[in-house]
Structure 1
Amino acid sequence: MRKVLSKPILILLALTLVLGTMGFSPGNGNGNGPGNGIANGISNGNGNGNDNGNGNGNNSGQNSGDLQRISGIHGEFDHESEEELTVIVELEEPSVLQAKHKGEQQQDRGDLELQRQDVMDAASEAAPSSEFNREYDYVFSGFSVEVQQNEIRDLAAVEGVNAVYPNVTHEAEILESTEIGAHEISPNMMDSAPHIGANDAWEELGYTGDGVTVAVIDTGADYTHPDLQHAFGDYKGWDFVDNNDDPQETPADDPRGDATNHGSHVAGTVAANGEIKGVAPDATLLAYRVLGPGGSGATDDVIAGIERAVEDGADVMNLSLGNTSNDPDFATSIALDNAMADGVVAVASNGNSGPADWTVGSPGTSRDAISVGATELPYMTYDSSMSTPSGYDYSTANVMGHPGEEALMALNEGEFEFEYVGLGAPSDFDGVDMEGKIALIERGEYAFVEKAENAKEAGAVGAVIFNNEPGEQPDVPGMAVPTIKLSQDDGSVMLQELESGNNTVSFDLAESGMMGETVADFSSRGPVTDTWMIKPDVSAPGVNIVSTVPTHNPDDPYGYAAMQGTSMSAPHVAGAAALLVQANPNWDTQEVKGALMNTAETLYDENGDRYPHNTQGAGSIRVVEAITTETLMAPGSYSFGTFEKENGKQVERQHFEIENLSDERKRFDMDVELFDGEDHIKVMTSNNLNVNPGSTQKVNMNVQVDASGLEGGYYEGLITLTHDDEIVEIPTILFVQDPYEVFPIEDLLDFGNFELNNGIFDVTLGFNYDIDYVDFVIYDSSLAAGALIHGVDDQAEGEHQYQIDANDILPLLPIVLPSDSYNFVVFVGKDGAEEGWVLGEFELD
């Protein structure tokens, strides 16, 4: 921690006069390593000041009871650096919606503005480099500010500040994209909207999203596209990148970065109505451009977009964007929770960092918003073999993708010449006669779809892509030419064949069966840290999704593209939510979410095994079933939290609610199934499962876990509710021991106290976790400025004793930090988050 000085040159001159030739060097404690000294030029090196009667102090200060908390700092910062960056500051004073939904007195925005300004004024004094950007008061209470990293702790210590978050980059969640000519598209977004039942909702039930407003918080949207312009009125939304009322996509000639089309693709999936149809073709759209050139943006604009969408009256909002922060209390997640509480159905992509667990990122980590994973639609599988003149068996040959079965099966019709074209870039085909041939391509640098598209443009009738490393390559439906994938070793053999003059290849392809809907490997998995919630909540198609895009070509401006990513799956759910809102206008957001979860279709992998909850959520959404359901269970999934081995048989009491939407009394049978660990886990529920028509019944549940007999990790199960042929399944999860190296930010420090005697701080601290670092800082009485005096790394869970010799530091305090009294503060950091606590006050003699 570096000392904050409003006039550092004058202070240094004063110290030179007092201390003569005392050495000056910055302290080393920055949260990443131990250090002694007061920063900005004050060290504990050569100052005398040893006389206990001259500033060292024999006074004692201690606090072994409740400690005063300094706001939590999320993210990793270099507390010595003068580099400026933007952070998001959350205030203790609740936002308008937070106050409303906590049952507190409704916030007056004028009063809240005055209180926020008071905090900002104090922040300017504590952190003089502060330059304020955006202010928030509706879904989030706070502001964004550019500040030097070495002033962030002082900013966090300002009275009224609750937390500080990094202004991280959010990216459009997309992996692959290929443009499709208008002659190649078909209505109903090819297969994805009909697959989830959207067309049945239009045709059989009459729900098309009419009268429902969906906010697309993204890269903007091409509201002039013929398939989209019906959905936009005079007011089209807002551009937070350029701060105007024209939320158009980034154009091709923007000097700041690449053109975008992502938001238009998302908007089309929600509400296109032209050559293709989105899930809710008659919905109204509002676009909020929070991601700029290249498809990236920052947290402060995303929060602003959420806030504006809620105030503009959106019924549903879609956020096909994310970051890698698996944090349920990240600023964007908090904003979405408040939006949901106010009646706006918030839908967020789960992320594209799968298939490992714990890869979900904010805002997909929101407690209440609907987080969406990506699936691949059912497809035909093939038995594949290929041969070259040597007769070598290419055992790893498999179909990667194709534009249609007819083109694929045409490869069975004889021998084809093949040519090696490197990585498959357009320049790799220059001067190569590919007409009617097979392109042999190495994996790497370019997307698979681009390689296939380039091969098609060069005249190839097929492609073979071999791996550039050991392992399996993914399947990529919708390739421009029939494409076979090979291992790295088999690709090397094929290159050797070519060098030997054996430049022909034959294929033998045959249908082997239909693969059902499967979860895409790239789809991020839960659970969420701290809350241990199952995420995603549901899944939806996200592979090879065709929708609207701008071409950025003035001669042919409107196009279509096939993209994949959880960005493509989320708007399927946002569109479905619009249909549910139209069909059930009296439902609240949790009923909409519950209906989508309760009626989702369970997914199974290629081996017929049920996907884990944290892979698929409740399953793949089915629109008609969600609209017409007669029973709702909330919440739609349940985490029973953590159970510690040392606690023996630990019991947690939980409950959920059954809502009977029908006009008849229902009696439900309930079963609880555990997939593993059932010998040590017992679930006891209430027997009263009779629910009157139009009523809600609370169901109590006790979960007893003997964690001593279980391995650490998480255990999944199902609560199944049955009435006649009606079946509702609720995914459940519980954890044995802390399953991941994370922690509640407010729970780092168990206890702390100190005494100051003869210039020595005797400190006792108790940690609830292994800690990355501990920094001790002296602040003035108002916590307006502080100076690091000692820091240590890697402290184990449990009690620790520290003796900090401050005899060389205390005499300097009246000069550097003029104050009547001082606060002794400890900062404790772990895994990119930090908490500060005031251990107590002391005075100098």
Structure 2
Amino acid sequence: MTATTASAEPADEPPAHPVAGAEASGLEKNQVKDAQGIVTVFVELDLPTTRDVAGSVGPQARGLSNAAGAIEKAADDVVHSVSDATELYTAVNSVAGVAVAVDSAELDALAARDDVVSIKPIVPKERTSNAGSNAFTGATDAWESAGATGEGQTIAVIDTGVDFGHASFNEDNTWGAYPETYAGNQAYFTDEVSWPQGKVIGGYDFVGRDYTGGYTASPAAPDANPMDEADQICEGIPANIQRGSGHGSHVAGTAAGWGVNADGTTYTGGYEGVDESVFTGLEVGPGSAPDADIVALKIFGCAGSTAYAGAALDWLADPANEIAQSVTVVNMSIGSTFATVDDPENAMINALVDAGKIVVVSSGNSGDTTDVGGSPGNSNSSLTVANSVGNTFELEGALVYTGSTDGEGTVYAGQYSIAYTFPDGVPVGPQEIVTLTPGDLAYNSGCTAYSAQDAARVAGKTVALAAGATTPRSPVDPRLAPAMPLLPGPTGSCSRDSTRSSRLACPATHGSPRSSSPDRARPSCSTTSRARASSPSRTPPPGSRTTTPWV
């Protein structure tokens, strides 16, 4: 599969002149050199892209086709030069190269090729969380004071797709009601779409429904329909693989949805000079740029992770694709934690920014885990956005008593924790304080297994971890040290965070905003979401590097 568009080749058009490619010296193998088994990598080729050619001859059909054809031929040679290689996609517009799944034993043979510039690992991307409000982010102020509602802008959403029949995107839905099941309704998700559909002016599905990023053996099956797939459409996919749950529609709605009235119809009341109470009273609030258009690029199946972010980025770099060229902003609420800056998608993002597009990427949205960043948010030219807890949420805190619970306790602010499962809809109430057997720092921090007596004391309780008094980032409060309840981490392991703070607070309250999907069968495209979510247990695919979904 390539991301270029087919076009005619006028006989009188001169062939493209050669354009200098990247230097092939200094081959990079980086993290893949010690890999074992099947690995997914991007093999960069020493060839000019269609974008390079367009810079010298303009967007002429023959010149672009010649460049794309040369890359496709070289990519085909790469794939067939080694045994058991599976091609994922070929990039011809942003960076010349081919994404392949191949046995790591074959990497040396690929690296020895004269036309190969680099071989870089493709880190599986996950969906990231999405929450907040236009008032909290200041979008309503921008509407009012500057009239900046997104008019004239086009936002490409690279995600799980977009439900372009939803009232937040389409006032006059002609695509039909969203199905309750996939069986018997496949055409709804695969038939070619006549664009525009409301404010969604184009799109593409690079993977199909069954692709899971390696959690199952189902390969990508691209089609021209980027319809988002709600959880009920995932029938037949193993239940332990995390669902997309309408993530792309939610992101698109947050970016540019019109909003939905309480009766399920499209909000048409305007955005400038409107009291904020009007928006908070909607079933689905408007996006930050409600007058912008949307392009839906679907790189996830209905469950799992993806290796196809690069395919979507390359699609956007096609100089002959009018829809791609109309895009001014690219949104990627996806990523992977602890990835390196030489992720191949980062070079593609840099190419898009060089072409004048703004690429907005989530930046390590892994809840309250510190020092987590990932790709493609760590690309040099992307505009990265860290997640934040909106002012409509209540933060947890710890009410700590020193010595006795008879006096007044002190409340210490906390964060939502990736290590604590909140009861749905039930605030966390007062917790019993327990004192463990005195021990060394490792024992009191939960880095070594507790005695049977102490393990029984903390069982079923919400507790915090102690930390060393020498920690420079957060001095120990002497009032807390003698009486702080403790929580062991997983047996035999110790989180880096256990030495980062002197008071990791126990959750005390939990705010959860209302659900804002007007149609439970459809993917949600609200500008608010739950304060947290639990991730189902999953088994990562063999030979791949995966991350916990950001929630």
Which band: TM-score by shorter chain?
0.5 to 0.7
* Cα distance in 2, alignment partners of residues 369 and 559 from structure 1: 25
What is the SS of the residue equivalent to 1:133?
strand
* Cα distance in 1, alignment partners of residues 300 and 100 from structure 2: 19
- CA separation of 1:287 and 1:557: change in aligned 2, threshold 3 A: closer
What is the SS of the residue equivalent to 2:245?
coil
- CA separation of 1:128 and 1:342: change in aligned 2, threshold 3 A: same
Q: Which has the higher strand share?
A: 1
- Write out aligned runs for 1:501-520 (5 A): none
Alignment-derived partner of residue 285 in structure 1: 294
Alignment-derived partner of residue 205 in structure 2: 239
Alignment-derived partner of residue 562 in structure 1: 529
Shift of the alpha carbon at 1:68? 8.3
* Cα distance in 1, alignment partners of residues 376 and 30 from structure 2: 15
What is the SS of the residue equivalent to 1:455?
coil
Quick check: 1:371 aligned with 2:402? no
Alignment-derived partner of residue 344 in structure 1: 357
TM-score between the two structures when normalised by the length of structure 1: 0.38
* Cα distance in 2, alignment partners of residues 490 and 562 from structure 1: 33
CA contact (8 A) 2:250 2:526 kept: no
Q: Deviations over 1:621-663 (max 9, x none)?
A: xxxxxxxxxxxxxxxxxxxxxxxxxxxxxxxxxxxxxxxxxxx
Q: Deviations over 1:479-500 (max 9, x none)?
A: xxxxxxx99967799xxxxxxx
Alignment-derived partner of residue 229 in structure 1: 170
Partner AA of 1:208 in structure 2: T
CA contact (8 A) 1:271 1:285 kept: yes
Shift of the alpha carbon at 1:71? 2.6
- CA separation of 1:145 and 1:320: change in aligned 2, threshold 3 A: same
CA contact (8 A) 2:42 2:120 kept: yes
* Cα distance in 1, alignment partners of residues 51 and 142 from structure 2: 33
* Cα distance in 2, alignment partners of residues 68 and 287 from structure 1: 35
- CA separation of 1:78 and 1:196: change in aligned 2, threshold 3 A: closer
Shift of the alpha carbon at 1:368? 1.5
What is the SS of the residue equivalent to 2:152?
coil
> Looking at CA atoms only, which structure, 1 or 2, has the larger radius of gyration?
1
Shift of the alpha carbon at 1:234? 6.5
* Cα distance in 2, alignment partners of residues 157 and 545 from structure 1: 56
* Cα distance in 2, alignment partners of residues 454 and 197 from structure 1: 28
Quick check: 1:91 aligned with 2:58? no
Shift of the alpha carbon at 1:154? 0.6
Q: Deviations over 1:588-616 (max 9, x none)?
A: xxxxxxxxxxxxxxxxxxxxxxxxxxxxx
Alignment-derived partner of residue 203 in structure 1: 144
Shift of the alpha carbon at 1:85? 3.3
Shift of the alpha carbon at 1:400? 5.8
* Cα distance in 2, alignment partners of residues 558 and 265 from structure 1: 3
Alignment-derived partner of residue 31 in structure 2: 75
- CA separation of 1:547 and 1:93: change in aligned 2, threshold 3 A: farther
CA contact (8 A) 2:121 2:343 kept: no
What is the SS of the residue equivalent to 2:40?
strand
Alignment-derived partner of residue 124 in structure 2: 169
Partner AA of 1:553 in structure 2: A
CA contact (8 A) 2:516 2:524 kept: no
Shift of the alpha carbon at 1:337? 0.6
- CA separation of 1:372 and 1:316: change in aligned 2, threshold 3 A: same
Give the one of 68, 84, 94 matched to 1:113.
Answer: 68
Any unmatched runs of 5+ in structure 2?
Answer: 1-22, 172-196, 209-221, 260-281, 432-460, 468-479, 488-496, 498-510, 533-551
What is the SS of the residue equivalent to 1:71?
coil
Q: Deviations over 1:367-401 (max 9, x none)?
A: 222122234456899998689xx854574645669
What is the SS of the residue equivalent to 1:348?
strand
- Write out aligned runs for 1:383-782 (5 A): 391-393=405-407, 395=409, 397-398=411-412, 447-448=421-422, 451=423, 453-455=424-426, 463-464=429-430, 467-471=462-466, 552-553=520-521, 561-563=528-530
* Cα distance in 2, alignment partners of residues 128 and 381 from structure 1: 54
CA contact (8 A) 1:470 1:488 kept: no
What is the SS of the residue equivalent to 2:29?
strand
Q: Deviations over 1:110-147 (max 9, x none)?
A: 22234224433542454132232311111121111222
* Cα distance in 1, alignment partners of residues 332 and 53 from structure 2: 25
Q: Deviations over 1:409-449 (max 9, x none)?
A: xxxxxxxxxxxxxxxxxxxxxxxxxxxxxxxxxx886543x
* Cα distance in 2, alignment partners of residues 546 and 97 from structure 1: 46
- CA separation of 1:268 and 1:335: change in aligned 2, threshold 3 A: same
CA contact (8 A) 1:326 1:359 kept: no
Q: Deviations over 1:50-69 (max 9, x none)?
A: xxxxxxxxxxxxxxxxx984
* Cα distance in 2, alignment partners of residues 96 and 88 from structure 1: 18
Alignment-derived partner of residue 245 in structure 2: 260
CA contact (8 A) 1:251 1:552 kept: no
Alignment-derived partner of residue 333 in structure 2: 320
Partner AA of 1:268 in structure 2: G
* Cα distance in 1, alignment partners of residues 462 and 372 from structure 2: 25
Quick check: 1:270 aligned with 2:236? no
What is the SS of the residue equivalent to 2:93?
coil
CA contact (8 A) 1:549 1:561 kept: no
* Cα distance in 1, alignment partners of residues 462 and 521 from structure 2: 34
* Cα distance in 2, alignment partners of residues 469 and 382 from structure 1: 13
Alignment-derived partner of residue 182 in structure 2: none
* Cα distance in 1, alignment partners of residues 364 and 335 from structure 2: 6
Shift of the alpha carbon at 1:212? 1.3
CA contact (8 A) 1:317 1:347 kept: yes
Shift of the alpha carbon at 1:563? 4.7
What is the SS of the residue equivalent to 2:360?
strand
Give the one of 206, 209, 219 matched to 2:160.
Answer: 219
- CA separation of 1:305 and 1:557: change in aligned 2, threshold 3 A: closer
- CA separation of 1:249 and 1:201: change in aligned 2, threshold 3 A: same
- CA separation of 1:163 and 1:363: change in aligned 2, threshold 3 A: same
Partner AA of 1:237 in structure 2: G
* Cα distance in 1, alignment partners of residues 301 and 294 from structure 2: 19
* Cα distance in 1, alignment partners of residues 251 and 40 from structure 2: 29
CA contact (8 A) 2:368 2:418 kept: no
* Cα distance in 2, alignment partners of residues 263 and 163 from structure 1: 32
Alignment-derived partner of residue 715 in structure 1: none
- CA separation of 1:69 and 1:139: change in aligned 2, threshold 3 A: closer
CA contact (8 A) 1:269 1:547 kept: no
- CA separation of 1:445 and 1:394: change in aligned 2, threshold 3 A: farther
Shift of the alpha carbon at 1:361? 1.6
* Cα distance in 1, alignment partners of residues 482 and 135 from structure 2: 38
Give the one of 131, 141, 160 matched to 2:96.
Answer: 141
CA contact (8 A) 1:226 1:558 kept: no
Partner AA of 1:470 in structure 2: L
Give the one of 309, 322, 325 matched to 1:302.
Answer: 309
What is the SS of the residue equivalent to 2:426?
helix
- Between Structure 1 and Structure 2, how many residues are aligned? 369
- CA separation of 1:131 and 1:68: change in aligned 2, threshold 3 A: closer
CA contact (8 A) 1:350 1:361 kept: yes
Shift of the alpha carbon at 1:109? 2.9
* Cα distance in 2, alignment partners of residues 134 and 383 from structure 1: 48
* Cα distance in 1, alignment partners of residues 407 and 204 from structure 2: 58
- CA separation of 1:267 and 1:557: change in aligned 2, threshold 3 A: closer
* Cα distance in 2, alignment partners of residues 551 and 471 from structure 1: 46
Give the one of 306, 309, 332 matched to 2:345.
Answer: 332
